[in-house]
Chain A
Amino acid sequence: MAPSRVLPIVASVVFVLFIVGAAWIAGSLATRTGLVQHSLTVETSLSDLLSSLQDAETGQRGYLLTSDEAYLAPQIRASEAIGAEFAALRAAIVDNPTQLQALSELQVVTEARLAILRHAIELQRVGDVAGALAVVRSDRGRDLMDHARAIIAGMRAEEARVLVRRSAAAAFFSRTLLGVIVASGILALLSVGLWFRGAHRYAGVLERAREDLHSANTGLEAKVAERTAELRDSNDEIQRFAYIVSHDLRAPLVNIMGFTSELEATREDIRAELPETPKSQAIDRDFAEALGFIKAAIAKMDGLIGAILKISRDGRRAFRPELLDVTALVRGLADAQRHQAEEAGAVVTVGALPAITADRLAVEQVFGNLLDNAIKYLDPGRRGRIEVSGQVIGPRVRYEIRDNGRGIAPSDHERVFELFRRAGAQDRPGEGIGLAYVRMLVRSMGGRIEVASESGVGTIFSVTLLRTPPTV
Chain B
Amino acid sequence: MHPVCIVMIEDDEGHARLIEKNIRRAGVNNEIVHLRDGASGLRYLFGADGSGEVSAGRALLVLLDLNLPDMTGVDILTRMKANRHTKRSPVVVLTTTDDEREIQRCYDLGANVYITKPVNYEGFANAIRQLGLFFSVMQVPEMD
A residues bordering B, Cβ < 8 Å?
247-248, 250-255, 257-262, 302, 305-306, 313
Contacts and interface: CB of A to CB of B under 8 A. Distances in A.
Given A247-B67, A247-B96, A261-B125, A252 B120 contact: no
| Pairs A-B, 4 closest by C-beta atoms | A255-B14, A257-B121, A258-B18, A261-B121
B97 interface: yes
Contact of B120 (A255, A257, A259): A257
B125 to A, nearest CB: 7
A232 to B, nearest CB: 19
22 contacts: A250-B96, A250-B117, A251-B12, A251-B15, A251-B67, A251-B96, A252-B12, A252-B14, A253-B119, A254-B15, A254-B96, A255-B14, A255-B15, A257-B124, A258-B121, A258-B125, A260-B121, A261-B122, A261-B125, A262-B18, A302-B119, A313-B99
Contact of A306 (B67, B96, B117, B119): B119
B119 A258 contact: no
A274 B97 CA distance: 42
B37 to A, nearest CB: 15
Given A261-B125, A302-B120, A306-B119, A254 B18 contact: yes
A260 B96 CA distance: 19
Contact of A254 (B21, B97, B99, B117): B117
A261 B97 CA distance: 23
Nearest to A261: B121
A250 B18 CA distance: 15
Contacts of A248: 67
A254 B124 contact: yes
A255 B14 CA distance: 6
A248 B21 CA distance: 22
Contacts of A257: 119-121, 124
Nearest to B121: A257
Interface in B92-111: 96-97, 99
B21 A262 contact: yes
A216 to B, nearest CB: 42
Given A247-B67, A302-B119, A306-B119, A258 B96 contact: no
Nearest to B97: A247
Contacts of A254: 14-15, 18, 96, 117, 119, 121, 124
A210 B99 CA distance: 52
Contacts of A261: 121-122, 125
Contacts of A262: 18, 21
A250 B119 contact: yes
Contacts of A260: 121
Contacts of A251: 12, 15, 67, 96
Interface in B112-144: 117, 119-122, 124-125
Nearest to A306: B119
A258 B14 contact: yes
Contacts of B15: 251, 254-255, 258
Q: Which of B14, B97, B122 has the most CB of A within 10 A?
A: B14
Interface string B41-63: 00000000000000000000000
Nearest to A244: B67
A259 B67 contact: no
Interface in B11-46: 12, 14-15, 18, 21
A340 to B, nearest CB: 27
A121 to B, nearest CB: 148
B15 to A, nearest CB: 6
A248 B11 CA distance: 12
A305 B18 CA distance: 21
Contacts of B122: 261
Nearest to A316: B99
A258 B12 contact: no
Given A247-B96, A251-B15, 14 more contacts: A250-B117, A251-B12, A252-B12, A254-B121, A254-B124, A257-B119, A257-B124, A258-B14, A258-B18, A259-B18, A261-B122, A262-B18, A302-B120, A306-B119
Contacts of B97: 247
Contacts of B14: 252, 254-255, 258-259
Contacts of A252: 12, 14
Q: Which of B12, B15, B120, B122 has the most CB of A within 10 A?
A: B120
